[in-house]
C-alpha cells in the first residue's frame, strides 16, 4: 500500500511541503546507510492525540546516534518538541512518526566525518503493520535461514538504517515463502527477533524473551510488555531461547511500535498451542490498548498529549 502523504515534513528546523522534502543523491546516507531512526505512534485518546513513549523513543534515537558518532545539531527537547509540532501542523489525530538522523552531502568516502548530520521528522497515517486481522487471529511465521547481525558487527542496540538490510533479507524470504514474518536466530543459533519486532513466548504462565545480548533491538514495546506483565503479577524472564522452544510454547507473540502486540499462531507450520491467540497474549493486549485509548490508567506516564 502506498504511503499516504501528509502536508509537511520537518527538515532541520523548517517545515517543508511533502513533495519538496528532497536530499541530494550524493548524500552519505544513500550510499552507506548512514542513518539512525525511530518509529513511534501517536494514538487517539478520549482527551485527544497522544504520543506514546516519546521520551524513550527520542532517547533511543540519540543513543543510536551516539554509537555512530553522529552529533545532531538539536537537543533532546528540541527533537521532542519538533515531533509534537509536526503532528500538530499535519493535524493528525493518530499516526506513525519517523524521526531520522542521517549524514548528508559533502564528501563520498567511507569516512563520514566531513558530512553534516541532518534531522528530519515525517508523520503519516499507518494502520496495523501485520494486517488488521493479525491482532486477533495471529500470524503464521517461519524461522529465517538468515541470522540476525552478529555481536560486534553492526550494533544491534542502535536502530540504524543499515541494520534493516538484514531485516529485509529476513522479511523477503518469509513473504516469498508465504509467511507474514520471519524470526531470525542470533549468531549462536538462539532465537533473536523478527525483522521488525521483538518476541516473547509464554510457557506455563511465565513470559520469556531473549536478552539484549541475543542481537535484539531494545524494544520500547518489549519494555511495556515486561512492565505490564509484572504489574499483572506475571513472572518475566530474559533468557536465551532455543529454536525448538518456539514450537512447544503455549503462546508466542511479537511486540513493536508498528506490530504492537501480535499473536503468532504457527511457526514453520507447527501450530502454537491451540493455533490461535492465547489468554496471556489477550490480557496483555487489553492492558496495552487500554492505556493507549485512555481507558486504563497510564500509571507509568507513557502518554504525552500532543
Ligand X SMILES: Cc1ncc(COP(=O)(O)O)c(C=O)c1O
In whole angstroms, give the CA distance from residue 263 to residue 254. 6
Task: Pick from 45, 197, 249, 252 the residue near ligand X by CB under 6 A.
Answer: 197
DSSP 8-state class, residue 105: S
209 binds ligand X per the rule CB under 6 A: no
On whether the CB atoms of residues 266 and 248 are closer than 8 A, the answer is no
271 is catalytic: no
Shortest reach from residue 108's CB to ligand X, in Å: 28
On whether the CB atoms of residues 3 and 124 are closer than 8 A, the answer is yes
34 vs 255 by CB, closer to ligand X: 255
Beta carbons within 10 angstroms of residue 292's beta carbon: 21
220 binds ligand X per the rule CB under 6 A: yes
Task: Give whole-number Cα distances, 185 to 72, 119, 203, 305, in Å.
Answer: 33, 33, 19, 38
Closest CA to 104 of 174, 32, 181, 195: 32
Task: Pick from 39, 99, 263, 278 the residue near ligand X by CB under 6 A.
Answer: 39
On whether the CB atoms of residues 230 and 238 are closer than 8 A, the answer is no
* Residues of this chain, 249-268, that bind ligand X according to CB under 6 A: 255-257
90 vs 198 by CB, closer to ligand X: 198
Shortest reach from residue 231's CB to ligand X, in Å: 18
217 binds ligand X per the rule CB under 6 A: yes
Catalytic pick from 55, 159, 204, 276? 159
Shortest reach from residue 268's CB to ligand X, in Å: 20
Grid coordinates of 26: 550524493
* Residues carrying an active site annotation: 159
Interacting residues toward ligand X by CB under 6 A: 39, 167, 193, 196-198, 217, 219-222, 255-257
Amino acid at each position: 500500500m502506498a504511503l499516504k502523504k501528509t502536508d509537511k515534513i520537518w527538515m532541520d528546523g523548517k517545515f517543508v511541503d511533502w513533495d519538496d522534502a528532497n536530499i541530494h543523491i550524493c548524500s552519505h546516507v544513500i550510499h552507506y546507510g548512514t542513518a539512525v531512526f525511530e518509529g513511534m505512534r501517536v494514538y487517539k485518546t478520549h482527551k485527544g492525540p497522544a504520543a506514546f513513549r516519546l521520551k524513550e523513543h527520542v532517547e533511543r534515537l540519540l543513543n543510536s546516534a551516539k554509537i555512530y558518532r553522529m552529533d545532531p545539531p538539536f537537543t533532546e527537547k528540541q527533537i521532542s518538541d519538533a515531533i509534537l509540532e509536526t503532528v500538530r501542523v499535519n493535524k493528525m489525530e493518530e499516526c506513525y512518526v519517523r524521526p531520522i538522523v542521517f549524514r548528508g552531502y559533502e564528501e563520498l568516502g567511507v569516512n563520514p566525518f566531513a558530512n553534516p548530520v541532518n534531522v528530519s521528522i515525517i508523520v503519516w497515517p499507518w494502520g496495523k503493520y501485520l494486517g488488521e486481522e493479525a491482532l486477533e487471529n495471529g500470524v503464521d511465521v517461519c524461522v529465517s535461514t538468515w541470522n540476525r547481525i552478529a555481536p560486534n558487527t553492526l550494533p544491534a542496540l542502535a536502530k540504524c538504517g543499515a541494520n534493516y538490510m538484514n531485516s529485509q533479507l529476513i522479511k523477503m524470504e518469509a513473504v516469498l515463502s508465504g509467511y507474514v514474518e520471519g524470526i531470525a536466530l542470533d549468531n549462536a543459533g538462539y532465537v533473536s527477533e523478527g525483522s521488525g519486532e521483538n518476541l516473547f513466548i509464554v510457557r506455563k504462565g511465565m513470559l520469556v524473551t531473549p536478552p539484549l545480548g541475543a542481537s535484539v533491538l531494545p524494544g520500547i514495546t518489549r519494555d511495556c510488555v515486561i512492565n505490564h506483565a509484572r504489574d499483572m503479577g506475571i513472572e518475566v524472564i530474559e533468557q536465551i531461547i532455543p529454536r525448538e522452544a518456539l514450537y512447544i510454547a503455549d503462546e508466542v507473540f511479537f511486540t513493536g511500535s508498528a506490530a504492537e502486540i501480535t499473536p503468532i499462531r504457527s511457526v514453520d507450520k507447527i501450530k502454537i498451542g491451540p493455533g490461535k491467540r492465547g489468554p496471556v497474549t489477550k490480557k496483555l493486549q487489553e492492558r496495552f490498548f487500554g492505556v493507549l485509548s485512555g481507558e486504563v490508567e497510564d500509571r507509568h506516564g507513557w502518554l504525552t498529549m500532543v
